[in-house]
Amino acid sequence: MKYLLFILVFLAACSSDKPDGRTEAEILYREAEDLMKSERYILATEKLNVIKTQHPYSFYATPAELMQADILYLQENYVEAAASYILFRDFHPRHERIPYVVFKIADSYFKQIPETIDRDLEPALEAVRYYQEVIAKYPETSYKADAEGRIVECNTMLRQKDEYIADFYFKTKVYGAARYWYLDILANHQEKKTRRHAMERVVIATAKLKEFDACINYAEKFYDQVGKRAKKEIESTKESCQKDQEAAAEAEASNQES
C-alpha cells in the first residue's frame, strides 16, 4: 500500500512539471517555450519539430514556425534565422506579428555585418532594405526607432566603405574608377564632409583623365559647395584644364594647317 502511494505521489509530481494545455500541440508548444527561455534550444527545437510533423494543422503550428526562427536567432545562426523569418513572412503575410518578423529579418542581416569596412558589406545593404520596410509599412510599430538608428549605423559603414574604395583607386592612379566611385558617393550619401571630399576628387580625377571640358564643368558645378581649401584646389585645377584645353585646341589647329 505504501509502495502504491509512493508511485502515485511520484507520478503526480512528474505530471505537475508538464505545462497545462488543452491539446498535445499546445503542451508541446508550452514545453518548447519554457525550454527556449532556459536556453535549451536543441530540446526546444525537437518539441517544435514534433508539432510540425504530427500537428501541422494545429493552431500552434504557425507560432511554432516563428519560435524556430527566434531560436536560430538566439543561437546566433543569423543566416539561417534570416531565411526562416523570410519564409514565415512569405507564408503568413497577414500574420499579426509581421512587423516583428520584418524587423527580425533586418536584425538578422545587421548581425552579419563585419566589424571592418574592408570586408563584404552586403548584409548592411539588406539590413537597410528591411529596416526601411519596417518604417514605411509599419510606422506605428515600436520597432521604428530602433530601425531608424540602425539604418544610420549601416549607412555610415556603407559610406566609409565607398570612400575607402574611391580613395584606393585615386591613390593607385586608376582615375576612371576613382571618379566613378566618387560620383556614386555624391549620388547616394549626404554627409557633408564626405561629399566635399568627393567633389574635389571628381574634379582632380577628371583633369588627370585629360577630359578638359568635363573638368571645367565639374569645377563650376562644385565650387560653391566646398570649403575654402578645396575651393583653391578646384580653382587651380580648373585653370590648368583651361590652359590644357587651349593648348590642345591650338595643337589641333596647327595640325590642320599643316
Query: Mind listing the pLDDT tens digit for each residue in 68-93?
Result: 999 999 999 999 999 999 999 999 99
The structural domain count of the chain equals 1
Closest CA to 117 of 176, 182, 167: 167
Among 2-6, 8-12, 86-90, 179-183, the minimum mean pLDDT is found in: 8-12
Q: Please report whether residue 154 resides in a domain.
A: no
User: Which uninterrupted H or E stretch holds 251?
Assistant: helix 228-257
Which residue, chain included where needed, has cell 519596417? Answer: 134
Maximum C-alpha span of the chain: 127
Nearest 5 degrees, angle CA 256-CA 257-CA 258?
A: 90
Res. 193: pLDDT tops 70: yes
- Say if CB 31 and CB 64 are below 8 A apart: no
Q: Please report whether residue 188 resides in a domain.
A: yes
Q: Please report whether residue 166 resides in a domain.
A: no
Q: Please report whether residue 231 resides in a domain.
A: yes
Q: Cα separation of 18 and 216, whole Å?
A: 79
pLDDT of residue 148: 97
Q: Where would I find the H helices in 55-121? A: 61-74, 78-91, 98-110
Q: Please report whether residue 224 resides in a domain.
A: yes
pLDDT tens digits, one per residue of 11-70: 443 433 455 558 999 999 999 999 999 999 999 999 999 999 999 999 999 999 999 999
Torsion angles phi and psi, residue 205, rounded to 5: -60, -40
Q: Please report whether residue 144 resides in a domain.
A: no
In this structure, which amino acid lies at residue 198? A
Q: Please report whether residue 140 resides in a domain.
A: no
Label residue 251 by pLDDT band (50, 70, 90).
confident
Query: The domain containing residue 234 runs over which residues?
Result: 173-258
Q: Cα separation of 139 and 152, whole Å?
A: 17
Q: In the 8-state DSSP scheme, what is residue 224?
A: G
Which residue, chain included where needed, has cell 587651349? Answer: 246
Q: Cα separation of 81 and 67, whole Å?
A: 10
Res. 250: pLDDT tops 90: no
Q: Please report whether residue 228 resides in a domain.
A: yes
pLDDT of residue 11: 40
Q: Show the cell assigned to 151.
A: 539604418
**C-alpha dihedral over 166, 171, 175, 179, to 10 degrees?**
20
